Structure formats: structure tokens, C-alpha cells
Amino acid sequence: MSQIDSLHRQHLLSRRDVLSRAGAGFGAIALAGMFAEEQNLLGAPESPLFLPHKAGTARNVIFLFMDGGPSHLDTFDPKPLVNEYAGKPLPPSIKRVITPMGVTENGLLASKRTWKNCGQSGLPVSDWYPRVGEWMDDICVIRSCTSDALNHVGGVTQMNTGSILGGRPSLGAWVHYGLGSENRNLPGYVVLLDGDREPPGGNRVWGAGFMSAGHQGTKFLPGDHPILHLSSPAEISDHRQRRKLDYINQINRDHLARRPGDSELEARIASYELAFQMQAHAPEAVNLAEESQATHEVYGLNQKRTQAFGKNCLLARRLIERGVRFVQVYSGSGSRWDAHAKIEQNHTELCGATDQPIAALLQDLKQRGLLEETLVVWGGEFGRTPMSEKGDGRDHNPYGFTMWLAGGGVKGGQIIGATDDFGMHAVSRPVHVHSLHATILAALGLDHTEVIYRLQGRPERPTVNEGEVIDEVFG
């Protein structure tokens, strides 16, 4: 039995199953046509469009990215000894580390947070995230995450691509490469920023790296018009636009035939086609005016502090509802969570901007029956140290920090792993970024060791040949 035959036997019952099994084989004809059309739209003839390797627990991912590194010590991983040692250096029993600021011997900064044990599970959450705290029975908190990066560029790049060095495909690109898109009229991978600045590393953190450019994320713009130039001029009919596009595509394909393997040209051809489809379908997808006033209020769209992130959370729900596979929602675009100083002011603002929208997203997904098939991920590129760099801030900490997962088959109300008594190092069940990525892929039914892209004959995998699935996440 070939590998693809084996994969066909193991995948989830989906629209492809229905087509392939329907009509005594006639569905297979439609399936073949759909594959061909999907590859054409993706501009990715090299994509195997894997069927899931096994029955996944999720169909979509919403990754809530706190750009700059939120403090786990002040949100989801309380450390009372930090307050007891406030103003003093770390005790000798705690291993010294390299930080970009060289502040390991500075006095510890006390946390001003109050904590509440939330839900039936009793998981502790600080007063910076009270509304998210109401959902802890649906959330799995991983307290022992680790990264290889000391600075933001490397950290954001690794959390997105698996490597601190630029040039590799992003996780969303790997998902798109492995599973394709469920909507031929919208991008399969969308990035939503809450400001004009991009994260450190720029658009390469949602890029396709050495893959076809057709797998890269599509950045929507912040504000009321996330996609520019959707509408054709009034004097241009759909028929005329279609003929124009067909002519341009024919010229491009003739050019491509003489230059096989030009992924940039393939992506351009695909982008023309996708843009034409989006003119008809995207305006409805991004039209938040279709939502009720009550929905606007629960997401915080009527409040200045929560408006930008709330819009993007609501938009993320609308996109995955329409088959977009992977949506990344940035908070604090441009490393605004980077609180080396004035952490009280910084995190009070940013937690306040995200708490209500995140809780609204979880509530909305659950009420619509979407949470069970949508994996929600929260976190940043690293955590923060217990030391004070500038008297009232915290430094970068890739040695032990918190991420959390919800929905998509995740067993909520549990904590996995632990950091030491000062939140400095992961000391129990360390979870490297590669393992986090492997777990996200596993939720989608993809084996991170079997999703392979051959680069000049060398097999490349999304987790850089490392990592393991954290099975406890799924209970």
C-alpha cells in the first residue's frame, strides 16, 4: 500500500470524504477536480496536500500572539517567593543564565498581582486576566515552555518558524502546505495585526521560506478596511474582469512554462485568481456590521482600549467559520509587551486590551459549536525574568515561560509542567517550541515527522527534526 493510500484510510470524515465516497465513484471525479482546482488556486504544484495522518481533534487554529513577551509570573504562574526576595538577587540555588541585558544579579521585582483560583479546576489566574479566568476549565496551561532565543527577532522567528534564524516556513505555512485550504475564495492563512508596526523579523515570520510563496500568510490591515482594493471600478463588469484575469494568467503561464519552479511567479498567478475570488466573497467575510450590537459589545468593539484587538478576535471567528485554516492575531504589534520598565503600566494596558476579547472569543466559539474544532493558542515569544532591569520592569526569559491552549480537543482545567520557585527555569516537563508546534500539528491530524518538504533532495520538517507531541494536552 502506498503512503498516500495509507493516509486516505486514516483521515477524518470531511467534505473530501463525502465527495470521494458519494455516487458510486462519481464523487471521486469531483474530488480530483477539486484537488486540481485547489492546487491551481494555491499556486503550489509541489504540495502533496496531505490528508491528515490520523483523526485530528481540530480543523482550524487561532493563534493569539502577545508580541514582546508577556510575564508568566504576573498572569498564569504565581511565584510567592519572588515577593519574599524582592530587592534581593536570586538565591545561589537558582542557575544563572545569559540574558541580553545582563541583569541576573539585580534585585527581584515584586509582583503586585492578586490571584484567584478559577473554575472547578481551581487554576490560578491573576487579576490582569479575570475574564479569561472564567474559562480555565477549558484551558490547558503549559508552564514549562522553552525557547532558544534571547532577543525578540530570534524569539518571534522561532515561535513562528521553529528556528531563531530567518528563512524557514512559518507554522501556518506548514499547515497550509499539509492540509490546503477549506475555502477557495479566501486565503488559507491570515495574519491580523492590531497596529501599523510589524513584529520583529517582519513579514518573514508568516512567510513560506523555501516553499512556494503560495503558502505564506496573508496580512490583513488593521482598521475598518482590512483588505484594500476589493471592489472593481463601477465601469468594469465581472465578465470583463474575468476575461482580463484569464488573459493575464495565460501570459503568466506561458512564461512559467519556460521557467519551471519559479515559485514567486506561481504565487503571483495564484494571487490574481484568489484576488478575483475575494472580490466576491471577502467583503462579506470582513463585514463586522453584520454582527449584532450585543456581539460588538461582548468583544469590546465599543471601547477604545479593547476595540482593535476585539475586532481582530471577532474577525478571526468569522474567518475560521468560513474555512480559513490558520489565523494569527497579534496583540501589541511591534513588541509592545516588552516591559523592561514600567511593567505595571505596560501590562495593565495590554492585558486590559486583550482580556475581554479573548474571553468573548472563547464564549462565541463555544456557543456556536466551533470551540471543539478550533484550537486556540495564547502566548508570546518568551516570558520574563523575576529580576528588575530598570527598577520596575522584567527582562526576557526563554528558559521557562507559559503558553496555553483551549478547544480543538484540548483537555481543559489542567497545568502541564512547572518552573522553579522564581519562574526562571522549566524544571518539570520542559516543552520546547518544537514540541509546542508538534502538538498543534497533532491536533490537526498531522504527524510532524511525516509532513516533509524536499529541499534540494533534503527532507525538511516543520519541527526541524526535533520535538515531541505533548500527549497530556489531549487528556
Q: Are residues 220 and 348 in the same domain?
A: yes
Q: What is the mean pLDDT of the chain?
A: 86
CB 312 within 8 A of CB 194: yes
Residues near 217 by Cβ (< 8 Å), separated by ≥ 6? 170, 172, 173, 187, 189, 190, 191, 206, 207, 326, 328
Q: Are residues 266 and 152 in the same domain?
A: no
* pLDDT-wise least confident of 32-36, 133-137, 330-334, 442-446: 32-36
Residue identified by cell 480537543 is 409
Q: Are residues 418 and 299 in the same domain?
A: yes
Q: What is the pLDDT of residue 182?
A: 87
Q: Are residues 299 and 423 in the same domain?
A: yes
Residue 97 binned pLDDT confidence (cut-offs 50, 70, 90)? confident
Q: Are residues 339 and 411 in the same domain?
A: yes
Residue 14 binned pLDDT confidence (cut-offs 50, 70, 90)? very low
Residue identified by cell 534540494 is 456
Q: What is the pLDDT of residue 274?
A: 61
In a domain, 50, yes or no: no
Residue 252 binned pLDDT confidence (cut-offs 50, 70, 90)? confident
pLDDT at 44 over 70: no
Q: Are residues 108 and 212 in the same domain?
A: yes
Q: What is the pLDDT of residue 236?
A: 66
Q: What is the pLDDT of residue 281?
A: 63
In a domain, 48, yes or no: no
What would the pLDDT profile of 367-405 be if each residue is shown by its tens digit? 999 999 999 999 999 999 998 778 899 999 999 999 999
* pLDDT-wise least confident of 37-41, 208-212, 427-431, 459-463: 37-41
Q: What is the pLDDT of residue 250?
A: 80
Q: Are residues 77 and 36 in the same domain?
A: no
Per-residue pLDDT averaged across 11-18, rounded?
Answer: 40
Could you give the number of structural domains in the chain?
A: 3
Q: Are residues 295 and 324 in the same domain?
A: yes
Residues spanned by the domain of 17 = 1-42
pLDDT at 287 over 70: yes
Quote the cell numbers at residue 263. 515559485
Per-residue pLDDT averaged across 151-161, rounded?
Answer: 97
In a domain, 373, yes or no: yes
Q: Give the H or E element holding residue 460.
A: strand 458-460
Per-residue pLDDT averaged across 228-236, rounded?
Answer: 60
Per-residue pLDDT averaged across 55-75, rounded?
Answer: 97
Angle (nearest 5°) at CA 329 between 327 and 330: 145
Which domain CATH number covers 464? 3.40.720.10
Mapped onto helix, strand or coil, the DSSP state of residue 168 is coil
Q: Are residues 338 and 399 in the same domain?
A: yes
Nearest to 384 by CA among 368, 367, 401: 401
pLDDT at 249 over 80: no
Q: What is the pLDDT of residue 61?
A: 98
In a domain, 49, yes or no: no
- How far apart, in whole angstroms, are the C-alpha atoms of residue 248 and residue 252? 6
Q: How far is CA 442 from CA 84, 160, 460, in A?
A: 41, 16, 17
- How far apart, in whole angstroms, are the C-alpha atoms of residue 468 and residue 475? 16
**pLDDT top residue among 231 and 67:** 67
List, in sequence order, every residue forming a beta bridge with 65; answer none if it has no partner: 330, 379
Q: How many Cα atoms occupy the beta-carbon half-sphere of 264 within 13 Å?
A: 0
Name the domain boundary from 282, 317, 347: 282
In a domain, 272, yes or no: yes
Mapped onto helix, strand or coil, the DSSP state of residue 304 is helix
In a domain, 133, yes or no: yes
Q: What are phi and psi of 182, to 5 degrees?
A: -95, 0
**pLDDT top residue among 101 and 212:** 212
Q: Are residues 38 and 63 in the same domain?
A: no
What would the pLDDT profile of 178-208 be if each residue is shown by its tens digit? 998 888 889 999 999 999 999 999 999 999 9
What would the pLDDT profile of 207-228 be if each residue is shown by its tens digit? 999 998 889 999 998 777 777 5
Q: Are residues 96 and 239 in the same domain?
A: no
Q: What is the pLDDT of residue 17?
A: 41
pLDDT at 30 over 90: no
Greatest Cα pair distance, the chain, in angstroms, is: 75
pLDDT at 120 over 80: yes
pLDDT at 361 over 50: yes
**pLDDT top residue among 275 and 472:** 472
Q: Are residues 421 and 354 in the same domain?
A: yes
**DSSP line for 208-261:** -TTS-GGGSPEEEPSSS-SSSS-SPPTT--HHHHHHHHHHHHHHHHHHHHTSTT
Q: How far is CA 138 from CA 105, 121, 376, 378, 431, in A?
A: 38, 10, 10, 13, 20
What would the pLDDT profile of 297-353 be if each residue is shown by its tens digit? 999 999 999 999 999 999 999 999 999 999 999 999 999 999 999 999 999 999 999
What would the pLDDT profile of 326-335 be if each residue is shown by its tens digit? 999 999 999 9
In a domain, 20, yes or no: yes
% of residues, the chain, pLDDT over 90: 68
CB 388 within 8 A of CB 74: no
